[in-house]
Amino acid sequence: MAECINCGKGSKLISKALEVCLDCIRNDFEKVLPRIQRVHARSRMEFDLPTNPPQDPQGVQCNFCVNECKIPEGGKGYCGLRKNTDGKLWGGGKDEGNLNWYYDHLPTNCVADWVCAGGSKAGYPKFSHLPGPEYGFKNLAVFYQACSFNCLFCQNWHFRKDVYSKRKTTAEQLADCVDEKTSCICYFGGDPAPQVQHALETSKEALNRSEGKILRICWETNGAMNPHYLEKMADLSLKSGGCVKFDLKAFDENLNIAMCGVTNKRTLKNFEMLSEIAKTRPDPPFLIASTLLVPGYVEGEEVSKIAGFIADLDKDIPYALLGFHPQFYMTDLPTTSKIHAEQCKLAAENAGLRNVRIGNIHLLSNAY
Protein backbone atom coordinates (compact mmCIF):
# COMPACT_ATOMS: atom_id res chain seq x y z
CA MET A 1 0.00 0.00 0.00
CA ALA A 2 1.63 3.22 -1.19
CA GLU A 3 0.88 6.51 0.56
CA CYS A 4 0.65 10.01 -0.92
CA ILE A 5 3.30 12.23 0.67
CA ASN A 6 0.98 15.23 0.33
CA CYS A 7 -2.41 14.14 1.67
CA GLY A 8 -1.31 10.99 3.52
CA LYS A 9 -3.98 8.83 1.95
CA GLY A 10 -2.95 5.31 1.08
CA SER A 11 -3.57 3.56 -2.23
CA LYS A 12 -2.08 0.60 -4.02
CA LEU A 13 -2.20 2.71 -7.20
CA ILE A 14 0.19 5.50 -6.25
CA SER A 15 3.48 5.40 -8.12
CA LYS A 16 6.40 5.14 -5.71
CA ALA A 17 8.38 7.34 -8.09
CA LEU A 18 5.89 10.22 -7.92
CA GLU A 19 4.65 9.52 -4.38
CA VAL A 20 1.61 11.70 -5.02
CA CYS A 21 -1.93 10.64 -5.79
CA LEU A 22 -4.16 11.70 -8.66
CA ASP A 23 -6.39 13.88 -6.45
CA CYS A 24 -3.41 15.93 -5.25
CA ILE A 25 -2.08 16.33 -8.79
CA ARG A 26 -5.45 17.69 -9.87
CA ASN A 27 -6.36 19.76 -6.81
CA ASP A 28 -3.15 20.67 -4.99
CA PHE A 29 -0.70 20.90 -7.88
CA GLU A 30 1.46 23.80 -6.69
CA LYS A 31 2.12 21.93 -3.46
CA VAL A 32 3.21 18.67 -5.16
CA LEU A 33 4.94 20.25 -8.16
CA PRO A 34 8.42 20.41 -6.54
CA ARG A 35 8.28 16.66 -5.89
CA ILE A 36 7.18 16.01 -9.48
CA GLN A 37 9.99 18.18 -10.84
CA ARG A 38 12.61 16.35 -8.75
CA VAL A 39 11.48 12.97 -10.08
CA HIS A 40 11.64 14.13 -13.69
CA ALA A 41 15.03 15.75 -13.14
CA ARG A 42 16.44 12.54 -11.68
CA SER A 43 15.06 10.47 -14.56
CA ARG A 44 16.80 12.74 -17.07
CA MET A 45 20.14 13.18 -15.34
CA GLU A 46 20.63 9.41 -15.66
CA PHE A 47 21.00 9.95 -19.40
CA ASP A 48 22.73 13.33 -19.39
CA LEU A 49 19.60 15.11 -20.62
CA PRO A 50 18.70 18.67 -19.61
CA THR A 51 16.41 18.63 -16.59
CA ASN A 52 14.31 21.44 -18.08
CA PRO A 53 13.98 23.04 -21.52
CA PRO A 54 16.93 25.49 -21.59
CA GLN A 55 16.00 29.17 -21.83
CA ASP A 56 19.38 30.90 -22.10
CA PRO A 57 18.81 34.57 -23.09
CA GLN A 58 21.93 34.34 -25.27
CA GLY A 59 21.06 30.90 -26.61
CA VAL A 60 19.95 29.84 -30.09
CA GLN A 61 16.21 29.32 -30.46
CA CYS A 62 14.88 25.93 -31.56
CA ASN A 63 11.32 26.01 -32.87
CA PHE A 64 10.64 22.33 -33.54
CA CYS A 65 8.30 21.73 -30.57
CA VAL A 66 6.40 23.24 -27.66
CA ASN A 67 9.53 23.44 -25.48
CA GLU A 68 11.01 26.17 -27.74
CA CYS A 69 14.44 25.73 -26.19
CA LYS A 70 16.98 28.56 -26.21
CA ILE A 71 20.10 26.44 -26.26
CA PRO A 72 23.33 27.87 -24.82
CA GLU A 73 26.66 27.57 -26.60
CA GLY A 74 27.90 24.01 -26.22
CA GLY A 75 24.56 22.93 -24.75
CA LYS A 76 21.67 20.82 -25.99
CA GLY A 77 17.91 21.02 -26.08
CA TYR A 78 15.41 19.19 -23.92
CA CYS A 79 15.21 16.42 -26.51
CA GLY A 80 18.94 15.81 -26.10
CA LEU A 81 19.45 15.88 -29.85
CA ARG A 82 19.52 19.52 -30.87
CA LYS A 83 22.91 21.10 -30.03
CA ASN A 84 24.34 24.60 -30.21
CA THR A 85 27.83 24.53 -31.69
CA ASP A 86 29.45 27.85 -32.60
CA GLY A 87 26.09 29.58 -32.60
CA LYS A 88 24.40 27.08 -34.96
CA LEU A 89 21.94 24.29 -34.19
CA TRP A 90 22.83 20.74 -35.18
CA GLY A 91 20.88 17.53 -34.98
CA GLY A 92 17.60 16.73 -36.68
CA GLY A 93 18.59 17.89 -40.17
CA LYS A 94 17.80 15.92 -43.31
CA ASP A 95 21.23 14.27 -43.30
CA GLU A 96 21.38 13.64 -39.56
CA GLY A 97 18.78 10.96 -38.86
CA ASN A 98 19.32 9.47 -35.40
CA LEU A 99 17.08 6.44 -35.76
CA ASN A 100 16.43 2.75 -36.06
CA TRP A 101 14.22 1.28 -38.74
CA TYR A 102 12.74 -2.12 -39.55
CA TYR A 103 10.12 -3.74 -41.77
CA ASP A 104 6.82 -4.52 -40.07
CA HIS A 105 4.67 -6.91 -42.08
CA LEU A 106 1.05 -5.89 -42.53
CA PRO A 107 -1.39 -6.06 -40.89
CA THR A 108 0.59 -4.94 -37.88
CA ASN A 109 -0.02 -3.73 -34.33
CA CYS A 110 -0.37 -0.12 -35.42
CA VAL A 111 -2.44 2.07 -33.09
CA ALA A 112 -4.81 2.62 -36.03
CA ASP A 113 -4.79 -0.89 -37.49
CA TRP A 114 -8.55 -1.40 -37.19
CA VAL A 115 -9.33 1.70 -39.26
CA CYS A 116 -6.25 2.37 -41.44
CA ALA A 117 -5.74 1.39 -45.08
CA GLY A 118 -3.07 -1.17 -44.14
CA GLY A 119 -5.11 -3.10 -41.61
CA SER A 120 -8.73 -2.78 -42.69
CA LYS A 121 -10.96 -2.31 -45.73
CA ALA A 122 -10.59 1.47 -45.51
CA GLY A 123 -9.08 3.40 -48.41
CA TYR A 124 -9.43 0.70 -51.07
CA PRO A 125 -8.63 0.92 -53.97
CA LYS A 126 -7.10 4.43 -54.02
CA PHE A 127 -4.88 4.05 -50.96
CA SER A 128 -4.74 0.31 -50.39
CA HIS A 129 -3.72 -2.74 -52.43
CA LEU A 130 -6.44 -4.99 -50.99
CA PRO A 131 -10.11 -4.64 -49.91
CA GLY A 132 -9.03 -5.64 -46.39
CA PRO A 133 -5.81 -6.07 -44.42
CA GLU A 134 -2.77 -5.79 -46.69
CA TYR A 135 -1.32 -9.26 -46.27
CA GLY A 136 1.89 -9.62 -48.26
CA PHE A 137 2.86 -5.97 -47.87
CA LYS A 138 4.88 -4.18 -45.21
CA ASN A 139 5.38 -0.98 -43.30
CA LEU A 140 8.71 0.80 -43.02
CA ALA A 141 8.76 1.53 -39.27
CA VAL A 142 11.07 4.42 -38.37
CA PHE A 143 11.91 4.90 -34.68
CA TYR A 144 13.41 8.32 -33.99
CA GLN A 145 15.74 8.33 -30.97
CA ALA A 146 14.76 11.62 -29.34
CA CYS A 147 11.65 13.00 -27.68
CA SER A 148 10.13 16.31 -26.60
CA PHE A 149 8.35 14.70 -23.62
CA ASN A 150 9.70 12.86 -20.58
CA CYS A 151 7.06 10.23 -19.84
CA LEU A 152 7.75 8.40 -16.59
CA PHE A 153 5.92 5.37 -18.01
CA CYS A 154 7.76 5.41 -21.36
CA GLN A 155 7.47 2.03 -23.05
CA ASN A 156 10.56 2.71 -25.18
CA TRP A 157 12.76 4.48 -22.62
CA HIS A 158 15.89 2.59 -23.73
CA PHE A 159 16.39 5.01 -26.65
CA ARG A 160 17.63 7.56 -24.09
CA LYS A 161 20.88 5.60 -23.90
CA ASP A 162 21.64 6.58 -27.48
CA VAL A 163 19.90 9.91 -28.07
CA TYR A 164 22.93 11.36 -29.81
CA SER A 165 24.38 8.49 -31.83
CA LYS A 166 27.39 8.96 -34.06
CA ARG A 167 25.74 6.71 -36.62
CA LYS A 168 23.54 8.84 -38.87
CA THR A 169 21.07 7.95 -41.61
CA THR A 170 20.43 10.48 -44.34
CA ALA A 171 16.95 11.05 -45.74
CA GLU A 172 18.07 9.56 -49.04
CA GLN A 173 19.41 6.43 -47.34
CA LEU A 174 16.16 5.94 -45.46
CA ALA A 175 14.11 6.46 -48.61
CA ASP A 176 16.23 3.71 -50.22
CA CYS A 177 14.62 1.27 -47.80
CA VAL A 178 11.23 1.60 -49.51
CA ASP A 179 10.84 -1.38 -51.84
CA GLU A 180 8.05 -2.83 -54.02
CA LYS A 181 6.26 -4.38 -51.03
CA THR A 182 6.41 -1.28 -48.82
CA SER A 183 2.99 0.35 -48.76
CA CYS A 184 3.44 2.71 -45.82
CA ILE A 185 6.04 4.52 -43.73
CA CYS A 186 5.33 5.20 -40.07
CA TYR A 187 7.44 7.62 -38.03
CA PHE A 188 7.34 7.21 -34.27
CA GLY A 189 9.78 7.00 -31.34
CA GLY A 190 10.62 8.78 -29.06
CA ASP A 191 8.82 11.30 -31.20
CA PRO A 192 9.24 12.57 -34.76
CA ALA A 193 9.20 16.26 -33.70
CA PRO A 194 12.92 16.70 -32.90
CA GLN A 195 13.77 15.23 -36.32
CA VAL A 196 10.76 16.44 -38.28
CA GLN A 197 12.91 17.95 -41.05
CA HIS A 198 14.53 14.56 -41.66
CA ALA A 199 11.14 12.81 -41.76
CA LEU A 200 9.66 15.36 -44.16
CA GLU A 201 12.63 15.11 -46.52
CA THR A 202 12.54 11.30 -46.43
CA SER A 203 8.83 11.29 -47.17
CA LYS A 204 9.14 13.64 -50.15
CA GLU A 205 12.01 11.61 -51.58
CA ALA A 206 10.20 8.30 -51.13
CA LEU A 207 6.94 9.62 -52.60
CA ASN A 208 8.72 11.05 -55.63
CA ARG A 209 10.30 7.66 -56.30
CA SER A 210 6.95 5.91 -55.81
CA GLU A 211 4.87 8.22 -57.98
CA GLY A 212 1.77 6.41 -59.20
CA LYS A 213 2.12 3.72 -56.52
CA ILE A 214 0.61 3.31 -53.08
CA LEU A 215 2.82 4.66 -50.29
CA ARG A 216 1.11 6.06 -47.23
CA ILE A 217 2.90 8.44 -44.83
CA CYS A 218 1.89 7.98 -41.19
CA TRP A 219 2.92 9.45 -37.85
CA GLU A 220 2.65 8.49 -34.18
CA THR A 221 3.31 11.52 -32.00
CA ASN A 222 2.66 13.32 -28.74
CA GLY A 223 1.42 16.17 -30.94
CA ALA A 224 3.56 18.91 -29.37
CA MET A 225 5.41 19.99 -32.52
CA ASN A 226 5.43 23.44 -34.09
CA PRO A 227 2.13 23.84 -36.03
CA HIS A 228 4.13 24.95 -39.08
CA TYR A 229 5.72 21.52 -39.30
CA LEU A 230 2.50 19.74 -38.37
CA GLU A 231 0.80 21.27 -41.40
CA LYS A 232 3.53 19.83 -43.63
CA MET A 233 3.24 16.43 -41.95
CA ALA A 234 -0.53 16.47 -42.33
CA ASP A 235 -0.38 17.43 -46.00
CA LEU A 236 1.83 14.41 -46.81
CA SER A 237 -0.47 12.04 -44.93
CA LEU A 238 -3.64 13.52 -46.35
CA LYS A 239 -2.50 13.15 -49.97
CA SER A 240 -0.93 9.70 -49.56
CA GLY A 241 -3.77 8.04 -47.63
CA GLY A 242 -1.81 7.91 -44.39
CA CYS A 243 -2.86 9.01 -40.93
CA VAL A 244 -1.69 11.06 -37.97
CA LYS A 245 -1.97 9.30 -34.62
CA PHE A 246 -1.98 11.57 -31.57
CA ASP A 247 -1.16 10.05 -28.20
CA LEU A 248 -3.33 12.10 -25.85
CA LYS A 249 -1.67 11.28 -22.53
CA ALA A 250 -4.15 13.28 -20.47
CA PHE A 251 -6.66 16.12 -20.69
CA ASP A 252 -5.76 17.73 -17.36
CA GLU A 253 -2.60 19.81 -17.88
CA ASN A 254 -1.38 19.14 -14.34
CA LEU A 255 -1.60 15.39 -14.90
CA ASN A 256 0.22 15.67 -18.22
CA ILE A 257 3.05 17.59 -16.54
CA ALA A 258 3.17 15.08 -13.69
CA MET A 259 3.43 12.07 -15.97
CA CYS A 260 5.25 13.56 -18.98
CA GLY A 261 7.11 16.60 -17.68
CA VAL A 262 5.63 18.93 -20.33
CA THR A 263 2.39 20.83 -20.89
CA ASN A 264 -0.26 19.39 -23.23
CA LYS A 265 -1.68 22.74 -24.35
CA ARG A 266 0.09 22.60 -27.72
CA THR A 267 -0.97 18.97 -28.19
CA LEU A 268 -4.65 19.72 -27.69
CA LYS A 269 -4.52 22.81 -29.89
CA ASN A 270 -2.77 20.88 -32.66
CA PHE A 271 -5.29 18.06 -32.41
CA GLU A 272 -8.10 20.58 -32.78
CA MET A 273 -6.44 21.99 -35.90
CA LEU A 274 -6.10 18.55 -37.49
CA SER A 275 -9.72 17.66 -36.70
CA GLU A 276 -10.82 20.22 -39.28
CA ILE A 277 -8.45 18.81 -41.90
CA ALA A 278 -9.69 15.30 -41.12
CA LYS A 279 -13.19 16.19 -42.32
CA THR A 280 -11.85 16.63 -45.87
CA ARG A 281 -10.88 12.93 -46.13
CA PRO A 282 -13.11 10.62 -44.10
CA ASP A 283 -11.88 7.45 -45.83
CA PRO A 284 -9.50 6.22 -44.68
CA PRO A 285 -9.63 8.08 -41.34
CA PHE A 286 -6.95 10.75 -41.24
CA LEU A 287 -6.79 11.55 -37.50
CA ILE A 288 -6.69 8.92 -34.76
CA ALA A 289 -6.35 9.40 -31.01
CA SER A 290 -4.98 7.02 -28.41
CA THR A 291 -4.52 7.04 -24.64
CA LEU A 292 -2.44 4.78 -22.42
CA LEU A 293 -4.51 3.60 -19.45
CA VAL A 294 -2.08 4.13 -16.56
CA PRO A 295 -3.58 2.55 -13.42
CA GLY A 296 -4.25 5.07 -10.69
CA TYR A 297 -3.72 8.05 -12.96
CA VAL A 298 -5.50 7.65 -16.31
CA GLU A 299 -8.86 6.14 -15.45
CA GLY A 300 -12.52 6.63 -16.34
CA GLU A 301 -12.83 10.29 -15.38
CA GLU A 302 -9.74 11.33 -17.32
CA VAL A 303 -10.72 9.28 -20.38
CA SER A 304 -14.19 10.83 -20.26
CA LYS A 305 -12.63 14.31 -20.42
CA ILE A 306 -10.34 13.35 -23.31
CA ALA A 307 -13.21 11.71 -25.19
CA GLY A 308 -15.48 14.70 -24.56
CA PHE A 309 -12.83 16.98 -26.04
CA ILE A 310 -12.56 14.73 -29.13
CA ALA A 311 -16.33 14.33 -29.50
CA ASP A 312 -16.85 18.09 -29.45
CA LEU A 313 -14.61 18.22 -32.52
CA ASP A 314 -15.90 15.13 -34.34
CA LYS A 315 -17.69 12.14 -32.82
CA ASP A 316 -16.32 9.85 -35.55
CA ILE A 317 -12.62 10.30 -34.79
CA PRO A 318 -11.33 6.81 -33.90
CA TYR A 319 -10.06 6.46 -30.33
CA ALA A 320 -7.82 3.63 -29.09
CA LEU A 321 -7.43 2.83 -25.39
CA LEU A 322 -4.12 1.08 -24.80
CA GLY A 323 -3.13 -1.35 -22.08
CA PHE A 324 -0.29 -0.22 -19.81
CA HIS A 325 2.76 -2.33 -19.01
CA PRO A 326 5.02 -1.31 -16.10
CA GLN A 327 8.10 0.46 -17.51
CA PHE A 328 10.79 3.02 -16.72
CA TYR A 329 9.90 4.93 -13.51
CA MET A 330 6.47 3.36 -13.08
CA THR A 331 7.48 -0.28 -12.79
CA ASP A 332 5.61 -0.62 -9.48
CA LEU A 333 2.18 0.00 -11.03
CA PRO A 334 0.16 -3.00 -12.24
CA THR A 335 -0.79 -3.68 -15.82
CA THR A 336 -4.14 -2.34 -16.94
CA SER A 337 -6.96 -4.64 -15.92
CA LYS A 338 -9.77 -5.74 -18.22
CA ILE A 339 -12.35 -4.05 -16.02
CA HIS A 340 -10.33 -0.80 -16.07
CA ALA A 341 -10.16 -0.90 -19.87
CA GLU A 342 -13.86 -1.73 -20.23
CA GLN A 343 -14.88 1.06 -17.85
CA CYS A 344 -12.78 3.53 -19.82
CA LYS A 345 -14.28 2.36 -23.12
CA LEU A 346 -17.76 2.89 -21.73
CA ALA A 347 -16.75 6.33 -20.44
CA ALA A 348 -15.44 7.31 -23.88
CA GLU A 349 -18.62 6.13 -25.58
CA ASN A 350 -20.82 7.89 -23.03
CA ALA A 351 -18.87 11.06 -23.80
CA GLY A 352 -20.09 10.79 -27.41
CA LEU A 353 -17.45 8.91 -29.40
CA ARG A 354 -18.71 6.34 -31.91
CA ASN A 355 -15.53 4.41 -32.70
CA VAL A 356 -13.66 3.36 -29.55
CA ARG A 357 -11.38 0.35 -29.35
CA ILE A 358 -9.37 -1.35 -26.63
CA GLY A 359 -5.86 -2.10 -27.88
CA ASN A 360 -2.96 -4.11 -26.46
CA ILE A 361 -5.48 -6.60 -25.11
CA HIS A 362 -2.69 -9.14 -24.58
CA LEU A 363 -1.42 -6.89 -21.76
CA LEU A 364 -4.72 -6.71 -19.85
CA SER A 365 -4.89 -8.51 -16.54
CA ASN A 366 -7.89 -10.16 -14.86
CA ALA A 367 -7.38 -8.16 -11.66
CA TYR A 368 -10.28 -6.19 -10.16
Q: Is residue 315 part of a domain?
A: no
Q: Which of 38, 70, 90 is the last residue of a domain?
A: 90
Considering the domain architecture, whether residues 80 and 224 belong to the same structural domain is answered as: no
Has residue 60 been placed in a domain? yes
Q: Are residues 75 and 209 in the same domain?
A: no
HEC string of the chain? Answer: CEECCCCCCEECCCCCCCCCCHHHHHHCHHHHHHHHHHHHHHHHHCCCCCCCCCECCCCEECCCECCCCEECCCCECCCCCCEEECCEEECCCCCCECEEEEEEECCCCCCCCCCCCCCCCCCCCCCCCCCCCCCCCEEEEEEECCCCCCCCCCCCHHHHHHCCCCCCECHHHHHCCCCCCEEEEEEEECCCHHHHHHHHHHHHHHHHHCCCCCCEEEEEECCCECHHHHHHHHHHHHHHCCCEEEECCCCCHHHHHHHHCCCCHHHHHHHHHHHHHHCCCCCCCCEEEEEEECCCCCCHHHHHHHHHHHHHHCCCCCEEEEECCCCHHHCCCCCCEHHHHHHHHHHHHHCCCCCEEEECHHHCECCC
Shared domain for 57 and 180, answered yes or no, is no
Confidence of residue 327 (pLDDT cuts 50, 70, 90): very high
User: What confidence category does residue 186 fall into, taking pLDDT thresholds of 50, 70 and 90?
Assistant: very high
- State residue 109's pLDDT score: 83
**Could you tell me if residue 335 is inside a domain?**
no
Give me the mean pLDDT over the 188-193 stretch.
96
Q: Domain span at residue 19?
A: 1-46
Is the pLDDT at 162 greater than 80? The verdict is no
> Which of 257, 285, 313 delimits the end of a domain?
285
Q: Per-residue pLDDT tens for 196-252?
A: 999 999 999 999 999 999 999 999 999 999 999 999 999 999 999 999 999 999 999
Same domain for 59 and 173, yes or no, is no
In a domain, 337, yes or no: no
Q: What is the mean pLDDT of residues 100-123?
A: 94
Q: Are both 76 and 163 inside the same structural domain?
A: no
* pLDDT surpasses 60 at 124: yes
The answer as to whether 166 is a domain residue is: yes
**Percent of the chain scored above 70 by pLDDT?**
98
Q: Does the structure show a pLDDT above 90 at 59?
A: yes
Taking 80 as the threshold, does the pLDDT of residue 12 lie above it? no
221/199 same-domain check: yes
| Shared domain check, 129 and 252 | yes
Overall domain count for the chain: 3
Give residue 260's pLDDT: 98
Kindly state whether residues 78 and 133 are assigned to the same domain.
Answer: no
What percent of the chain is modeled with pLDDT above 90?
Answer: 90
106 found inside a domain: yes
Task: Return the CATH number at 119.
Answer: 3.20.20.70
Please check whether residue 339 lies inside any domain of the structure. no
pLDDT, average across residues 81-96:
92
**Do both 19 and 109 map to the same domain?**
no
pLDDT at 21 over 90: yes
Residue 1's pLDDT is 57
pLDDT for residue 360? 87
Label residue 322 by pLDDT band (50, 70, 90).
Answer: very high
pLDDT confidence band for 14 (50 / 70 / 90): very high
User: Is it the case that residue 195 has pLDDT exceeding 60?
Assistant: yes
One domain for residues 4 and 112? no
- Residue 368: the pLDDT is 53
Residue 166 has pLDDT above 80, yes or no: no
pLDDT in tens, 73-88: 999 999 999 999 999 9
> Would 136 be classed as within a structural domain?
yes
- State pLDDT tens for residues 258-293: 999 999 999 999 999 999 999 999 999 999 999 999
Mark which of 265, 285, 305 sits at the end of a domain. 285
pLDDT digits (tens, 9 = 90+) for 355-365: 999 998 888 98
179 and 60 in a common domain = no
72 and 109 inside one domain? no
